[in-house]
Structure formats: C-alpha cells, structure tokens
Amino acid sequence: MASASSLVRELGQPSAAFAATQLSAKLTGLLVERKEQGQPGDFAGLQSAAEVLAVVQAQLGDETAALLSAALERREASEAETNLSETKEFTTRDPDETLN
C-alpha cells in the first residue's frame, strides 16, 4: 500500500502533500501553533519578575508560569556563573603582569 505522501506526489498535488505533512507534524507535536494574547504594552507597567509571573499565571495558567519561572532561574544561574568566572579570572592575575 502506497503512503499518502507518495500518492499525492504521483497525482501531482503538492498542496495536498504539504497539508498532509503539516497535519502530521501538528499531530505528533512537532508543529505547535501559538497565539499572542493581550495588547501591546500590557507588561510595560510591571516592575519585577514576580509581577510578570503573576500576570502570566493569571492569563496563561500555572503550567506556563512555572515554565517561565524555571527559564528565568536557569538564566539567572547562568549569568551568575559567568560573572563568577569573570571575577575569578580577574582576581587570579599576577599583579606584576603587564597588560598590553
């Protein structure tokens, strides 16, 4: 039995092949459609990450807020690690070493 994609190619229907591939990707989770919610400037008045997380939680739910919180924590940890590495490099230089 021929696959659907090979059949539509044989019949010369590339738009059907594209639609079938797109639907397969959606069904398997490889293609996720996302919609933007809210209006431009909705986050402009917020002063802290906690305030942003509260709005995200209210509008998009607990799971999305938890994912954003985890991403922010990873980013902060990475930045802290980078800063620590730069500080160590700076403080471990030989004071008699000349800079060119």
DSSP 1-58: ---HHHHHHHTT-HHHHHHHHHHHHHHHTSS------S-TTTTTT--SHHHHHHHHHH
* pLDDT tens-digit map of 3-61: 766 777 788 888 888 888 888 888 988 888 887 777 787 778 888 888 989 988 998 89
Question: Structural domain of residue 11, as residue ranges?
Answer: 4-29+48-91
Count of CB atoms situated within 10 Å of the CB of 34: 5
- Domain presence at residue 8: yes
Rounded to whole angstroms, the Cα distance separating 87 from 100 reads 20
- Domain presence at residue 25: yes
- Domain presence at residue 10: yes
- Domain presence at residue 84: yes
Total domains present in the chain: 1
- Domain presence at residue 100: no
- Domain presence at residue 39: no
The whole model's pTM is what? 0.42
- Domain presence at residue 37: no
**Which amino acid, residue 32?**
V
